[in-house]
């Protein structure tokens, strides 16, 4: 299975990368207009595991020669990882990633560091201390600083255009790729103002292209808040959805990269149904299958159920971070989607008490609201829970 990358790989070699030629062509053609003072703003969507991050890193490789390309993953920012999501934390991370990439490109950013200090701080007299020298008392003012958040935001979001303006002889433009952008949902009451402020800076920069991406299905409310006609970008943002592999593409991929897997027609049909054509699951599950042995439908089902804890390990990690009440909600939805009032009755709680928990589970893309009902959006999480219950007679609140 050496030709199949692990599902967790974010950067693939040319030998490991497969398909997506049309998406790469579309994105690179759009991004190259940045050199003509017509930088595009793009929203890349797709379900978890479909390969958005791999695609974006491949785009970075394609565009790196002529552009300063900055890839940043909001989910690894300190402010998010420490569960202390804040505007300042995002600004810090944004600034840090741009400066790091500029240094790697050999661009001088010393002026930007100096400007950051003086432009984004309010200076005030902190205290006066008295020092003595040659029997003379000398008052020495101690100056304190306090970060001005609005000035800091202005500096940070204007920085990409400023870097381009100072380095026109070295780069054709800048491309800012922000992955896992959906974590901004945790800004809560500050979300809307963040989006509209960000939009103001993005749309005035002619030489800086932006790609926003994250685990957002087409029905995610954040998409309409960003790219809808009434959203922050007012419909001017181009949206490109990355779809799972088709059945034929999956078959071609496995034939080329894992020829030792010998599926019957029914076995392959079941493999595709188990993975839904999502590259993350295709790669991990295929690695668990025995080589050079006929794989019929029953073989595939047994292998999937026996290895499901390994296949969905990332979802189990997500599950373990949920509270008991949040797990109760997901378990209550296993049999079928429910309206909120029916969900509350099933859990024996007041409907209003579910608001925060439902919002969190939707933000994590574990449940989805559609047609007036809440349902589980991660089918493999649902399958894992069903298997755990059938084997142990109890759901895995603590796994």
pLDDT tens digits, one per residue of 279-326: 999 999 999 999 999 999 999 999 999 999 999 998 999 999 999 999
Contact predicate 256/21, CB 8 Å = no
Cα 138 from Cα 133, distance rounded (Å): 7
How would residue 43 be classed by pLDDT, with cut points 50, 70 and 90? Answer: very high
- Res 357 pLDDT > 80: yes
Domain limits of the chain?
21-105+153-241, 247-307, 314-392
247-307 belongs to CATH 1.10.3470: no
Compute the C-alpha angle 390/393/397, nearest 5°: 100
DSSP per residue over 211-260, as a string? EEE-SB-TT-HHHHHHHSTTSTTTT-SEEEEPPPPPHHHHHHHHHHH-TT
Cα 52 from Cα 58, distance rounded (Å): 10
Cα 300 from Cα 389, distance rounded (Å): 21
Cα 198 from Cα 232, distance rounded (Å): 9
pLDDT in tens, 381-396: 999 999 999 999 999 9
Cα 3 from Cα 33, distance rounded (Å): 35
pLDDT at site 125: 47
DSSP H/E element including 207 = none
How would residue 230 be classed by pLDDT, with cut points 50, 70 and 90? Answer: confident
Cα 153 from Cα 198, distance rounded (Å): 9
Cα 17 from Cα 11, distance rounded (Å): 9
- Res 355 pLDDT > 90: yes
pLDDT in tens, 233-262: 887 889 899 999 999 999 999 999 999 999
CATH architecture, domain 21-105+153-241: 3-Layer(aba) Sandwich (3.40)
Segment 154-173 mean pLDDT: 93
> Quick one: DSSP state of residue 83?
T
CATH architecture, domain 314-392: Orthogonal Bundle (1.10)
21-105+153-241 and 314-392 have identical folds: no
How would residue 62 be classed by pLDDT, with cut points 50, 70 and 90? Answer: very high
């Amino acid at each position: 299975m050496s030709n199949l990358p692990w599902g967790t790989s974010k950067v693939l070699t040319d030998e490991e990368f497969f398909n997506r030629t049309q998406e790469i062509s579309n994105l690179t053609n759009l991004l190259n207009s940045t050199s003509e003072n017509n930088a595009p703003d793009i929203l890349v969507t797709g379900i978890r595991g479909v390969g958005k991050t791999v695609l974006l890193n491949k785009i970075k490789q394609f565009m790196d020669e002529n552009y300063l390309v900055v890839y940043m993953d909001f989910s690894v920012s300190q402010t998010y990882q420490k569960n202390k999501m804040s505007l300042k934390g995002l600004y810090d991370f944004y600034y840090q990633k741009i400066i790091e990439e500029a240094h790697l490109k050999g661009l001088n950013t010393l002026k930007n560091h100096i400007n950051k200090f003086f432009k984004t701080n309010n200076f005030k007299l902190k205290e006066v201390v008295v020092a003595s020298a040659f029997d003379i008392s000398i008052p020495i003012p101690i100056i304190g600083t306090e970060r001005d958040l609005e000035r800091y935001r202005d500096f940070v979001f204007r920085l990409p255009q400023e870097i381009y303006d100072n380095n026109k002889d070295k780069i054709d433009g800048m491309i800012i790729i922000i992955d896992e952008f959906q974590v901004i949902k945790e800004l809560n009451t500050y979300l809307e103002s963040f989006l509209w402020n960000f939009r103001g800076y993005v749309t005035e920069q002619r030489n800086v292209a932006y790609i926003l991406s994250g685990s957002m299905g087409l029905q995610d409310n954040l998409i309409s808040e960003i790219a809808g006609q009434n959203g922050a970008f007012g419909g001017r943002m181009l949206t490109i959805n990355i779809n799972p592999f088709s059945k034929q593409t999956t078959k071609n991929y496995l034939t080329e990269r894992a020829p030792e897997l010998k599926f019957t027609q029914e076995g392959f049909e079941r493999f595709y149904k188990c993975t839904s054509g999502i590259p993350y699951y295709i790669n991990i599950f295929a690695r668990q299958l025995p080589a050079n042995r006929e794989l019929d439908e029953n073989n595939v089902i047994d292998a999937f159920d026996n290895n499901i804890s390994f296949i969905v390990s990332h979802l189990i990690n997500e599950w373990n971070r949920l509270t008991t009440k949040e797990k109760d909600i997901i378990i209550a939805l296993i049999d079928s989607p429910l309206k909120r009032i029916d969900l509350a009755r099933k859990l024996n709680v007041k409907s209003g008490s579910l608001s925060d928990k439902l919002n969190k589970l939707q933000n994590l893309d574990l449940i989805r609201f559609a047609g007036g009902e809440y349902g589980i959006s991660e089918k493999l999480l649902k399958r894992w829970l069903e298997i755990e219950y059938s084997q142990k007679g109890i759901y895995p609140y603590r796994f």
